[in-house]
Structure 1
């Protein structure tokens, strides 16, 4: 049976409170009662010692115990509920607080009966214990003057005041436990509600996302760190899914456009040949061939992207001079750039040796330099920089081309994404060149980013970890 989080939290917190109350009450009650009982026993011994001292003080060196005042000992016996008997040195009884201990027993039974009527006895499981007597020698000026017998029952030190204190103490534990239980129940309900309300709202947001509403966002504000992070994660997921959905729709539209254009051209040309409007010539067949090549390139790009996503790229790493390799790549692009009055320059640190896949590096630079070339303005410039830094290696490709709109920057490395400025047939590609480049860079443990301003140009930044750097032998 599934239980709601609120109920589970409330029950767990309540059980914890109950357990804590029981443990604290048991330990506290045990320690307090134990100490209090010890205190009562010590007090009883002090009473007996006080009676002994009183009896010794009543002795007269001249007359002995014959004329001493018995009222004080009798008062002690009555007030402290004790049986007192005093004998002289010859063993003669000179004082007796009662005819026998049975009289004292009857007095104790009467007291216990009153306590049971008042409800005290049932709280402490009291029963009349065995009658006991203590015999002590009476000594004065180092002379044995007689003996004193103090009789009492085992519970005699539990007087009315002591029993009342114990009962009050136990009642206070019970009342404190009840108040703590109610307080714990209230706190558990409040805490559970504070946790549940935002979670319910987040769950509602997630369910709306599942039903297709990707524009929904979690508006939960909480002082609980984990709930705040969960809300932010749900919003990030919703935003990511919304962007992916936008890219998917855009991909469908772009792919339809890319495929429809050459197919429409081929269809129109073939219909013209079938209707006899056109004569089959070499130039027209070349046009057919060009359109078919466009479709072939598109399919090849899709296949290459699929390979990149199937598994991690297998790198064939070798040691080589990155500085020299970049110079060679730049040199190979100079004819293309100069043909259209563009300039490609470099600012490269010398003798930077690395352990990388040389072919993948060439593909990365080819994609970036070709991409930069496509979007240069008249008499455009491209600068390639290589810097060896403490954190690793940084390669930058700067151009002064048309730039990238700010709204497109977050998606520039997404598959098949092309900005509105790159949709011209003469320049626009399939939209996966930068996606492939990003995968190749990341396969070397690096990262790629872009800085751009529309109308002023773009800078692609490649950052590789220092682990790929090696020393020249």
Structure 2
């Protein structure tokens, strides 16, 4: 939902309207109650007085009351005879005014009590969010703010957004803790291998032959790639990722990346099927989007080679481009799907490590797609395998 649409959606339930409506209803209720009591008092007094007046006289009084100016003397005579002086003499200490003062005094505690009752959901929601925020500041990211029924929609939305923020903080905390241990292992493995090989050469165990040096270089290249990937993710998460704006053909890009991967696909016995339009002009960072395609193909080769199948589909409309990559591998456990684009995530950690994966590829693919304003999702296929769905918004021209 866009910002304007969201604003229109929440305007009828805004906080000021919630407070104004309740305070207005409270004031209207108190005024109406006082008016009702005054009316009841007048109606009762009039009824009791009229019971004492003979019917013929009462009818005469009603008749001349229609034109009091013409029967002023007669009307005053009846008033002196049947009504109390305090009922007709003006003054702020009359019976009517005393009743009004009493009603006003009685309405004050009523207003206070009803004010507390009607504002309770408002204050309770604020208190719950504040108490939860204090627990979060103490490091308890599992805390969640309870939603109070009948509270303003804006406050409930605030609590929901706060809970979403806590969920992200909790996920980031788990990711940092998991990443720290995994990162230490990932860095230590190539370092130990390279150091052990170098130490063997220095001790004379191995000859300083090109093949030995090549093994050390491979470990260092793996280490450099891991560090580069981590730096890329850090820059992307900080919102500092710079993308170039190239005009290119998505169809040509996908075919190029498939051709680059043919040796790995053939070695794994994977048959690829590519369904793309003849042409799909696009604007974006060609190299980064190509990196996404290569990561997903490499992911299929490493973890879904047993399925022996890879399908790549591209469809482009006036609004978006949709890229789908499917395999026939074992898929991903349903409970792991929400974490598939987290750093260092692997469905099978040991298999991923032996196959050379660091667990950063899908995270990199995710941040590149998001940096282009798109979305990337993964789901298990009904008939087996994994499907990664990427949607990218179309731009008619590169931004200046």
Shorter-normalised TM range:
0.7 to 0.9
Is residue 228 of structure 2 the alignment partner of residue 303 of structure 1?
A: no
Is residue 241 of structure 2 the alignment partner of residue 216 of structure 1?
A: no
1:216–1:423 Cα change, 3 Å: farther
Distance in structure 2 (CA, Å) of the matches to 1:328 and 1:430: 24
Q: Which residue number corresponds to residue 46 of structure 2?
A: none
Taking the TM superposition and a 5 Å limit, the aligned residue runs for 1:278-357 are: 278-308=206-236, 309-318=238-247, 320-357=248-285
Q: Which residue number corresponds to residue 253 of structure 1?
A: 181
Residues 340, 379 of structure 1: 8 Å contact kept: no
Taking the TM superposition and a 5 Å limit, the aligned residue runs for 1:428-467 are: 428-452=356-380, 456-467=384-395
1:440–1:266 Cα change, 3 Å: closer
Distance in structure 1 (CA, Å) of the matches to 2:227 and 2:366: 20
Q: Which residue number corresponds to residue 43 of structure 1?
A: 68
1:373–1:40 Cα change, 3 Å: same
Residues 385, 397 of structure 1: 8 Å contact kept: yes
Q: Which residue number corresponds to residue 9 of structure 2?
A: none
1:243–1:377 Cα change, 3 Å: same
Residues 307, 327 of structure 2: 8 Å contact kept: no
- Please tell me whether Structure 1 or Structure 2 has the larger radius of gyration of its CA atoms: 1
Taking the TM superposition and a 5 Å limit, the aligned residue runs for 1:216-255 are: 216-224=143-151, 225-255=153-183
Residues 282, 394 of structure 2: 8 Å contact kept: no
1:313–1:17 Cα change, 3 Å: same
Is residue 221 of structure 2 the alignment partner of residue 196 of structure 1?
A: no
Offset at 1:184? 0.7
Distance in structure 2 (CA, Å) of the matches to 1:321 and 1:275: 55
Deviations for 1:23-46, whole angstroms, at most 9, x for unmatched residues? x99xx9xxx9xxxxxx99973652
1:312–1:287 Cα change, 3 Å: closer
Distance in structure 2 (CA, Å) of the matches to 1:278 and 1:163: 123
Which one has a larger percent helix, Structure 1 or Structure 2? 2
Distance in structure 2 (CA, Å) of the matches to 1:392 and 1:268: 51
**Count of aligned pairs between the two proteins:** 345
Deviations for 1:369-394, whole angstroms, at most 9, x for unmatched residues? 12222212336111110123465221
Per the alignment, in what secondary structure is the counterpart of residue 403 of structure 1?
Answer: coil
Which one has a larger percent strand, Structure 1 or Structure 2? 1
Is residue 337 of structure 2 the alignment partner of residue 417 of structure 1?
A: no
Is residue 97 of structure 2 the alignment partner of residue 205 of structure 1?
A: no
Per the alignment, in what secondary structure is the counterpart of residue 315 of structure 2?
Answer: strand
Per the alignment, in what secondary structure is the counterpart of residue 332 of structure 2?
Answer: coil
Q: Which runs of 5+ in 1 are unaligned?
A: 1-8, 33-38, 52-75, 82-157
The alignment's C-alpha RMSD in Å is 3.9
TM-score (norm 2): 0.72
TM-score (norm 1): 0.62
Q: Which runs of 5+ in 2 are unaligned?
A: 1-18, 43-63
Deviations for 1:76-114, whole angstroms, at most 9, x for unmatched residues? 9x8889xxxxxxxxxxxxxxxxxxxxxxxxxxxxxxxxx
Please say which of residues 452-461 and 234-243 is displaced more in the overlay: 452-461
Taking the TM superposition and a 5 Å limit, the aligned residue runs for 1:99-110 are: none
Distance in structure 1 (CA, Å) of the matches to 2:235 and 2:373: 19
Is residue 297 of structure 2 the alignment partner of residue 369 of structure 1?
A: yes
Per the alignment, in what secondary structure is the counterpart of residue 392 of structure 2?
Answer: strand
Per the alignment, in what secondary structure is the counterpart of residue 349 of structure 1?
Answer: coil
